[in-house]
Amino acid sequence: MEHIPVLKDHIVELFSPVDGTFIDATVGAGGHALAIAKALQNSKPQTPRPPSTWHVGQVNSKQNQSLKLNISNLNLASNLGFRTSSLQLIGLDRDSAALALANENLKTKMSKLGMDYNTIVTLVRGNFRDIKSILGELKIEKVNGILADLGMSSMQLDDPTRGFSFRHEAPLDMRMSTNSKIQDTNIKQIQNSKLKIKNSDLTAELIIKTWDEHKIADILWQYGEERFSRKIARAIKEHRRDISSTTDLAKLCEKCVPPRFRKHGVHPATKTFQALRITVNDEVDALKDFLRDAPDLLAPGGRLAVISFHSLEDRLVKQQFNELASNGGYEKITKKPIIATDDAIALNPRSRSAKLRCIKRV
């Protein structure tokens, strides 16, 4: 299924006018990144600026040679009639499969729009919890926009090998950071070994097979808000030898959640799967680290927007944004979170629980 970017028009509006250095910290399939690039296309005159005012951006200034290459790319781009701008789009993702897709999508779609993909976009494999050090590696000090669209993409959910979905028979893996080799030279691998993503050893299967019943109940309650957390955890403990796939676990959840407590159209294993995924990928602590470091990376006027899908995540975003605004130096752009309209939800059910909050550095 194609990934439909959640609250896309609101994102474009919050970041407009689009220019400068923009970090999509969860680039996924590149849907939001493309919308940002398109907004630039629509908001600027067609004539390229003279070379003296072009910003090459520190992203590519690591080696003099590559800087030179980029300047010549810009000249070539303008000669070929490509649109050039000061927009530098850095797309970050922890999943190499997502980056490969973003690379393909953005390259194709931006070229069709007459935009010079190679000059504008840099894709980096990394965890957004390391955003400060990653930007340091890229020699970028301040940025004009940062977006994080949390959770997983439709492609990850639909990939039967990843174990995120109870709809496909798969091993209980659920790790977001795949180790697949990145062939495309457009995707940067961070050199600093501390920041290199290692495929964590924790999988959903390891939790199911080895964790204490109470610890499992706690994560199901905390990260899934599953009211039958204790019952499911007990059943997992009793049957753990027989649970080896996503569908085994889904069937067990079905037995534990009485029909009268099931929501129409929501599978009884949904909350359990969400809780396991959040735990396997250490998503809550990664978000805390990101919220601690990202605001400081904004240039004056720069904005940080976060789309969350879970009350725990939204609470963290809300608390941090409130604190930043009350300490001064930041202004809340969204007094209340932006949520999807009924029409948008009908088009993209994933947006049902989305909450978008944004702050600006003053």
Question: In this structure, are residues 242 and 248 in contact, taking their beta carbons and an 8 Å threshold?
Answer: yes
Is 128 annotated to bind ligand? Answer: yes
Q: 331-356 burial by CB neighbour count: b if 16+ within 10 A, else e?
A: ebbbeebbebeeebeeebebbebbbb
| Minimum distance from residue 21 beta carbon to ligand SAM (Å) | 18
User: Cβ closer to ligand SAM: 152 or 174?
Assistant: 152
Cβ nearer to ligand SAM, comparing 210 with 311: 311
Q: Among residues 214 and 292, whose Cβ is nearest to ligand SAM?
A: 292
- Compute the least distance from the CB of residue 332 to ligand SAM, in Å: 22
Residues in contact with ligand SAM by CB under 6 A are 3, 5, 26, 28-32, 92-95, 98, 127-129, 149, 151-153, 176, 286
What is the C-alpha to C-alpha distance for residues 314 and 356, in angstroms, rounded to an integer?
9
**CB of 162 or CB of 240, closer to ligand SAM:** 162
309 is in an annotated binding site: no
Instruction: Give residue number: closest CB to ligand SAM.
Output: 28
Q: Which of residues 72 and 180 has its CB atom nearest to ligand SAM in the complex? A: 180
Region of residue 181 (left: phi > 0; alpha: psi -120 to 50; beta: else): beta
CA 160 to CA 335: how far, in whole Å? 40
**CA of residue 261 relative to chain centroid, distance:** 32
State the DSSP string of 138-194: TT---EEEEEEE-S--HHHHH-TTT---TTS--BS---SS--PPP--TTEEEP--TT
In whole angstroms, the minimum distance from the beta carbon of 360 to ligand SAM comes to: 20
Q: Shortest gap between Cβ of 309 and ligand SAM (angstroms)? A: 8
156 is in an annotated binding site: yes
Residue 221, both tokens:
């309650």
31 annotated to a ligand binding site? yes
* Cα–chain center distance at 325: 24
List binding-site positions for S-adenosyl-L-methionine.
Answer: 30-32, 93, 128, 149, 156
List binding-site positions.
Answer: 30-32, 93, 128, 149, 156
